[in-house]
Structure 1
Amino acid sequence: MTLQVDKPLLDPYDYDFHEDPYPYYQRLRDEAPLYRNEELGFWALSRHADVHQGFRNSTTLSNRFGVSLDPASRGPHASKTMSFLAMDDPAHLRLRTLVSKGFTPRRIRELEPRVTEIATRHLDTMLEKAASGTVDYVDEFAGKLPMDVISELMGVPDPDRAEVRAWADGVMHRDEGVTDVPAAAIEASLNLIVYYQAMVAERRKKPTDDLTTALLEAEIDGDRLTDDEVLGFMFLMVIAGNETTTKLLANAAFWGHRNPDQLTSVYADPARVPLWVEETLRYDTSSQILARTVSGDLTLYDTTIPDGDVLLLLPGSGHRDERVFDKPDDFIIGRDIGSKLLSFGSGAHFCLGAHLARMEARVALTELFGRIKGYQVDEANSVRVHSSNVRGFAHLPMTLEVS
């Protein structure tokens, strides 16, 4: 069953859709579980079972042209900035395995004390400013911490981190009505690449105890990562590891504000912070839309999707599917989610940084709640990010009650 209407049910560039995609998703799940948008040239799957199966079908649904709908991000060049996320096996497996030699769970565990220090430093500044009124939670905390953690991991010196963070923000910005990557984002991408190139060259000459050096030294049976492959992974970390975690932190704060009864148990017991994180990942996930390219013919809902067509997987919709979750439109901290979570994908391309994102969010929110006894979001002055695939806030002003 496919549905086409005069006004598209799904336009990932539409600002109204960005403000609240969930009614659109509901219609898609009910009326067009396989949806076709002729104007923008894509298909979309919205039901949980279909999205989950789509993630696991890495043969027929290819990543080799990238995972974004944006034309400038799609194509055979996608792996230059999206690393193994924009590859299929065997190239994907080779690169992912090599990267995993450096990007280990142990390295992430050992990073936690530094993440706590970075979070505390930004919290100190935010709480100081909050003493005299409203403070922007994204500007002061959620937007700074993830990129600083990635910089810490990579070995970016402290004095350079603000500039690197600004470039990373520039990479993701989209203007209203523009369905492609704007010139400013391309310039920001080039600045990041040039910076990281210099860093890689420096580590080649003078190794240090950071992830950049670990990637350069990773080796399996004589096979090593090239400089370009290391650069590609560093860029992937900026895009996939930075933006999505910033959005997760802000979305958690926003929905906690909207559902204060759910936060009562978190204030009482900070050990419940991870449950708050998981429900945020389900209820309003950062990563809403991921593209795949059909490789060979694919038949779904009695419709054959031609080879080479773009198919969008909508985890944000799958998480609100009443076929899988009870009361999916209610924010309930502690609900049973488990393996039904789609935020980090599934199968061969399951997010390598899932453990880092969860650790950062747990540390950040635990530290925050150790310092405050309440907060209020200024919804009228909150500003959403406008992106074709991630969902969250560019600005989230709030007042804080300090403990």
Structure 2
Amino acid sequence: MGTNSLTKQEDVEEAPDVRAYDPFDYEIHSDPYPTYAWMREHAPLYRNEERDFWAVSRYADVKDVLRNASLFSNRNGISLEPELWGPEAVKTSLFLAMDPPEHGAHRGLVGSMFTPNRVNVLEQRIRELARERLEPLRDLERFDFAAEYAAALPNDVLCEMLGVPADDWDQIRADTDQLNQRADGSDERGPSSVAAALRLADYFVDLVKHMRRHPGDNVTTTMIEAEVNGAKHTDSEIVAFLFLMISAGNESTGKTIGNAWYHGWLLPDIQHQGLNGRADDWVKETLRYDSASQMTARTVTRDTVIHGVELKAGARIAALPASGNRDERVFPHADRFDLDRDTSQIISYGRGPHHCLGSALANLEMRIALEEIGAVVEGYEIDFAHSRRVHSPHQRGFAALPCTVRHRAKPLPPAA
């Protein structure tokens, strides 16, 4: 890597024995952090021979990979799954599988719609959607926090922005949940995932055709009418964009809300503070401590040396931002959930040209979600025995998180 901050790899011969890092392994999905800690200390450049990729786990290394698009390219996509990796990745991921300057030309078409100023205008509408989702839950002592609220709210917001009719929102969310599921140890889609992908593809094709005939004030219409280098997007490119928005923007936000709720259950003091005015700090520390976004892949564009090991051009490398956020070199007492922590250096949303387009929107949605439920709920317990994790190489979180709640005798005043 030339004059970079990466140091020579430690001797792993005498490192304590630990299970291999495999992002498709259900045990990793259950708790990846002990493995990440071992990697940071003993194998900061980790090799998985079976799946043919390298992985970096330290904060500085992850940040370098994310920022240096000329050396670590998106041209083959960001997923290690065989059907999503390779030169055809652009067909399913659009600008997420592009490098600058092409990446900027496509991303810039909708980038202005996700700036903090534009997003803040949506606050009242997001609160309305949150309250609509909470309304049928207000009198229930038991409900599924993940499915009925945490995943539903960001899906509602994004579907509305894309112009998806409200009657279809729940089906979009259900199919998105299935889309990213993998069997234990498998890097290929199962039958339910394939079926969900086909349903979504058919739906998006019909949506684009409808929007071409009946344009509206939404992000999909913006993509249809925009031009890049004098040419408009094809239907297939817009469908790829819709998949990107739904799977990347929707999933991470809902899963992180669920992760915050989970850690509030494990840590009653965090739960109490989070439900009583510290929702924003609850969100930010969850993004650091247990973000839904765990891994993203890149292609090495030229021979380089990392931690004393030569990587050849074309090698696959996985960057682990969730591990970087637990690096003691940057975050003291990193394994402690601390609402008073400075989280300004977190890399949950990436760095560089591919920094998450929807980060401002996600932050707002997550804060509102926890503020609004905190206004009506004073405490809760999770029925962990009946919870269900998502099994994805990229996303960590819950598909089901049943809980019992204690409602406030008098709901708190609505947030400003």
Task: Decide: shared fold, TM above 0.5.
Answer: yes
Q: Which residue matches 2:51?
A: 40
User: Which of residues 64, 80, 88 is equivalent to 1:69?
Assistant: 80
Q: Name the one with the larger helix percent.
A: 1
Matched, 1:96 2:107: yes
Shift of 1:249: 0.7
Matches within 5 A, 1:326-337: 326-337=332-343
Aligned residues: 397
Question: Offset of 1:125 from its aligned partner?
Answer: 1.7
Q: Is the 2:112–2:118 contact (alpha carbons within 8 Å) kept by the matching residues of 1?
A: no
Counterpart CA distance in 2 for 1:278 and 1:326 is 16
On the 8 A contact 2:110/2:219 being kept in 1, the answer is: no
- Report Cα offsets for 1:71-101 as digits up to 9, x if no partner: 1111122122222111112221111112325
- Structure 1 residue 187 and structure 2 residue 192: aligned? no
In the alignment, the residues of structure 1 paired with residue 29 and residue 147 of structure 2 have an alpha-carbon distance, to the nearest angstrom, of 20
- Are 1:397 and 2:405 matched, yes or no? no
* Rounded Cα–Cα distance in structure 1 between residues aligned with 2:309 and 2:404: 52
Partner SS state of residue 139, structure 2 = helix
Instruction: Note the alpha carbon deviations across 1:119-157, whole angstroms, 9 max, x for none.
Output: 111112223332xxx321112111211212111111111
Is 1:300 aligned with 2:306?
yes
**1:243-258 superposed matches below 5 A:** 243-258=251-266
Structure 2 CA distance, aligned partners of 1:208 and 1:122? 25
Tell me the CA shift for residue 224 of structure 1.
Answer: 3.9
Aligned positions of 1:309-320 closer than 5 A: 309-320=315-326
Deviation, 1:218, is 3.1
Could you say which residue in structure 2 is the equivalent of 1:31? 42
When structure 1 is superposed on structure 2, of 223-232 and 71-80 the one drifting more is 223-232
Partner SS state of residue 83, structure 2 = helix
Residue type matched to 1:49 in 2? Answer: A
Contact conserved, 1:73 with 1:181, CA < 8 A, in 2? no
Q: Give the Å deviation of 1:107.
A: 4.5
Q: CA deviation at 1:12?
A: 1.1
Q: Distance in 1 between matches of 2:357 and 2:244?
A: 11
Partner Cα distance (2:144, 2:349) in 1: 27
- What does residue 355 of structure 1 align with? 360
Residue identity in the other structure for 1:266 = G
Which of 282, 297, 301 matches 2:288?
282
The 10-residue stretch of structure 1 (19-28 or 4-13) with the greater mean CA deviation from structure 2: 4-13
Instruction: Find 1:168's aligned residue among 176, 197, 206.
Output: 176
- Unaligned ranges ≥5, structure 1: none
How far apart, CA to CA, are the structure 1 residues paired with 2:53 and 2:89? Answer: 18
Q: CA deviation at 1:226?
A: 3.5
SS of match in other structure, 1:71? coil
Match of 2:131 in 1: 120
Letter paired with 1:14: D
Distance in 2, matches of 1:274 and 1:300, equals 37
Letter in 2 for 1:397: P
Shift of 1:287: 0.6
Letter in 1 for 2:204: Y
RMSD: 1.9
Amino acid paired to 1:144:
A
SS class of match (1:292): strand
- Amino acid in structure 2 at the alignment position of 1:314: L
SS in 2 for 1:323: coil
Residue in 2 that maps onto 1:365: 370
CA contact (8 A) 2:223 2:233 kept: yes
Work out whether residues 102 and 214 of structure 1, in 8 Å CA contact, stay in contact via their aligned partners in 2: no
Whether the aligned pair in 2 keeps the contact of 1:378 and 1:396 (CA below 8 Å) is: yes
Calculate the TM-score normalised by the size of structure 1. Answer: 0.93
CA 1:121 to 1:374, structure 2 compared with 1: closer, same or farther past 3 Å?
A: same
Q: Equivalent residue of 1:176, what SS?
A: coil
Describe the SS at the equivalent of 1:73.
coil
Amino acid paired to 1:147: N
The answer for the alignment partner of 1:79 in structure 2 is 90
Whichever residue aligns with residue 347 of structure 2, its letter is L
Contact 1:276–1:334, Cα closer than 8 Å, also in 2: no
> Is the aligned partner of 1:205 residue 2:210?
no
- The alpha-carbon distance between structure 1 residues 220 and 70, as it changes in their structure 2 partners (threshold 3 A), is closer
| SS state at 2:120 partner | helix
In structure 2, what is the equivalent of residue 259 of structure 1? 267
1:34-71: CA deviations, max 9, x gaps?
11111111101011110011111111111111111111
**TM-score when scaled to structure 2?**
0.90
- Cα shift at 1:379: 2.2
Q: CA deviation at 1:31?
A: 0.5
Report how far residue 265 of structure 1 moved: 3.2
